[in-house]
Chains A and B, each alone.
Chain A
Amino acid sequence: MGMNILLLMIPLSLLFVLVAALLFFWAVDNDQFIDLDNSSVLPLADDLEPPAIEKS
Chain B
Amino acid sequence: MKDHQEKQPVCFHCGNEFSDGVSFFVEWKNEARVCCSQACADTASQIIEKGLGDFYCLPRPKISRNKKKGSCCCCSSKSVHEVEEAYFSHTLSENISESFLFLPGLHCSSCAWVVERALKQLTGVVEVGVNALTRRVSVSYKKDKLKLDAIIQCLAEIGYPAEMMEYNELDALRKKERNTLLKQILVAGFGTMQAMMFALVIYVSGENELDQVTLSFFKWLGFLVATPVVLYSAKPFFKGAFKAINNKNLNMDVPIAISVFLTYLASFYQAISEGGEVYFDSVSMLVFLILLGRYLELLSRHKAQSSLESLSKASKPFVERKNPQGEFELVRVTQITAGDVIRVKQGEQIPVDGILLSENLDVDESLITGEFDIQRKIAGTPLLSGCLVKNEAEIRVEKSSEHSFITALQSLSLKAQTSKVQLVQEGEKTASQFVLAVLCFTLLTVAGWLWIDPSKAFDAALAVLVVSCPCAFALATPAVITRSLSVLSAKGILLLKPDALARLLTVDTFVFDKTGTLTDSSVDLACCFRDMPPEIVFKLAASLSQDSQHPLSEAFLSICDKELLEVSEQEFLNGLGIRGVIDGKQYFLGRPDFVVKDAYQKQEGVVLADELGVLAVFKIKESIRSGASELMQELDRQGYKRLLMSGDGRERVSQVAARLNFGVAWKARQLPWEKLQQLETLKQEGHKVLMLGDGSNDAPVLAGADVSVSFASAAELAKSKADVLLCNEKLMDIVYLSDVSKQAKHILYQNKQWAFFYNMIAVPFAALGMVPPWLAAIGMSLSSLFVVMNAFRIGARRAQKEQKKDFQWV
Contacts and interface: CB of A to CB of B under 8 A. Distances in A.
A17 B191 CA distance: 9
B54 A45 contact: yes
B23 A38 contact: no
B194 interface: yes
B113 A45 contact: yes
Interface in A19-56: 20-21, 24-25, 28-29, 31, 33-35, 37-42, 45-46, 48-54, 56
A17 B214 contact: no
A11 to B, nearest CB: 10
Interface string B214-232: 1000000100110000000
A45 B58 contact: yes
B186 A51 contact: no
A21 B33 contact: no
B31 interface: yes
B714 to A, nearest CB: 27
Interface residues of A, number: 31
Contacts of B175: 31, 34
B810 to A, nearest CB: 7
B194 A51 contact: no
A25 to B, nearest CB: 6
A5 interface: no
B629 interface: no
Interface stretch (B5-13, B237-245, B531-539, B769-777): B5-13
Main secondary structure of the interface of B (DSSP, over half): helix
Contact of A50 (B56, B112, B133, B225): B56
B31 A53 contact: yes
Contact of B194 (A14, A40, A54): A14
A28 B179 contact: yes
Contacts of B224: 14
Interface string B455-494: 0000000000000000000000000000000000000000
Contact of B186 (A21, A34, A38, A50): A21
Nearest to A56: B9
B761 interface: no
B109 interface: yes
Interface residues of B, number: 35
A45 to B, nearest CB: 6
A24 B33 contact: no
Contacts of A33: 179, 182
A36 to B, nearest CB: 9
Given A35-B132, A41-B109, A20 B34 contact: no
B585 interface: no
Interface string B188-205: 001000100000000000
A48 B133 contact: no
Contact of B133 (A38, A42, A45): A38
Contact of B10 (A24, A29, A35, A54): A54
Contacts of A8: none
B10 A37 contact: no
A14 B222 CA distance: 12
Given A13-B194, A38-B109, A50-B56, 16 more contacts: A14-B224, A17-B194, A21-B186, A21-B187, A35-B131, A37-B132, A37-B133, A37-B810, A41-B58, A41-B59, A45-B57, A45-B113, A51-B12, A51-B56, A54-B33, A56-B9
Interface of B: 5, 9-10, 12, 23, 29, 31, 33-34, 54, 56-59, 108-109, 112-113, 129, 131-133, 175, 179, 182-183, 186-187, 190, 194, 214, 221, 224-225, 810
20 contacts: A10-B221, A14-B194, A14-B224, A14-B225, A21-B186, A21-B187, A28-B182, A31-B175, A33-B182, A35-B112, A35-B133, A37-B133, A39-B109, A40-B109, A41-B58, A42-B58, A48-B59, A53-B31, A53-B33, A56-B23
- Which 7 residue pairs are nearest across A and B when measured between Cβ atoms? A38-B109, A48-B57, A38-B132, A56-B9, A54-B34, A28-B179, A50-B57
